Structure formats: structure tokens, C-alpha cells
Amino acid sequence: MKIGFGSDHGGYDLKNAVMKHVAELGHDVFDFGSFEGERVDYPDYAKKVCEAVVARDVELGMLFCGTGIGISIAANKVNGIRCALLGDSFSARMAKEHNNANVIAMGGRVIGDNLAIDMVDQFLNAEFQGERHQKRLDKIKKMEE
Ligand code: RB5
């Protein structure tokens, strides 16, 4: 699977840790920056990754800032994006099964590497359950129009 990654300085180290794990799983990883851990603005990186998801250049996005809050808020402003801010492994599974999230976000200042990796595994191994959940996603889609 093609997966795009983006972060600001607050999520930079966690992005690199998760990206390494996802590459080791055999996925194609695309790093949209930031690249040096320098101080940057998280909306710029949410935009880059989310536009790539909408354009289908990548199938999923993974975003990281200090808390994950700002970058997930920015991501959800892009039409077609369903970004889930993750903090536990059960919600990570639900983010796929119920919400069919096409982007996930995490906070580098609040989530340790091992939890982040477990959440990513839960998310990637889950399947969208459709049916009543699709009906709800259709209602969200209508809100974008
Ligand atoms: C940057 O200092 C910080 O505000 C950002 O990484 C993020 O936590 C915002 O939600």
C-alpha cells in the first residue's frame, strides 16, 4: 500500500519511527516532510498529505504534530478526508472498522513509539465494516457539499 507521511517539528521523531515500521511491513512510504525537524506550520503538511490522498497518489495518510490535534483539525478541512486522531489501540481499530479513516494522526509529545506502532498495526490490519457505517459516512460527505 502507498502511504503518505507528514509532520511538523512536534511530530517529527514519531513520524520517522512509524515510517520505519510501516516500511518494514512492506508498504511504500512517501515522506511529504518536514524533513529536518525544523520549526514549521502543521497545516502545510496536513495539506500536502491530504491532497495526495484525495488525488489517490497515496492510499492512506499518517500525520504527526505535538499533540496530533492541530494537524488532524487541518486534515479534516480537506474535502474527502476522514482523519482520526488516535490515542489508543481500540480506537485505532475502530477508525478503520467504523469510520474508514483515510488519514490517521498522532501526537509526538504524547504517544510513545510502541503505542504508536501498535495503533498503526491495529488500523492497518482492520477492515471497514460498511453497511450502517457507510450510511453515516455518506451523511458526513453530504456535509462537505
Ligand atoms: C507546535 O508547537 C504545536 O503546537 C503543534 O505541534 C501541535 O501540537 C498543534 O496541535
Instruction: For residue 17, count CB atoms less than 10 angstroms from its CB and return exposed for 0-12, middle for 13-18, buried for 19 or more.
Output: middle
Q: What is the pLDDT of residue 103?
A: 98
- The predicted structure's pLDDT at residue 135: 97
CA–CA dist 1, 138 (Å, integer): 25
Q: How far is the CA of 19 from the centre of ligand 1 (A)?
A: 20
Q: How close is the Cα of 94 to the center of ligand 1, in Å?
A: 25
State the residue for C-alpha cell 490515542.
Answer: 87
Predicted TM-score (pTM) of the model is 0.97
* Position in ligand 1 atom list of the atom nearest CA 65: 6
Ligand 1 atom 5 nearest Cα: 66
Q: Specify whether the CB–CB gap between 53 and 81 falls below 8 A.
A: yes
**The Cα angle at residue 97 between residues 116 and 50, in degrees rounded to 5:** 60
* Atom of ligand 1 at shortest range from CA of 11: 6
Give per-residue pLDDT as tens, 106-142. 999 999 999 999 999 999 999 999 999 999 999 999 9
Length of the chain: 145
Residue to probe by mutation, ligand 1, list 65, 71, 109, most atoms within 8 Å of CB: 65
Q: How far is CA 41 from the centre of its chain?
A: 17
CA of 141 to the centre of ligand 1 (A): 28
What is the predicted pLDDT for the residue at 4? 98
Q: What pLDDT shows up at residue 129?
A: 96
Q: Ligand 1: does its nearest atom lie under 6 Å from the Cβ of 105?
A: no
Percentage of the residues of the chain whose pLDDT score is greater than 70: 100
Per residue in 5-34, pLDDT (tens digit) is 999 999 999 999 999 999 999 999 999 999
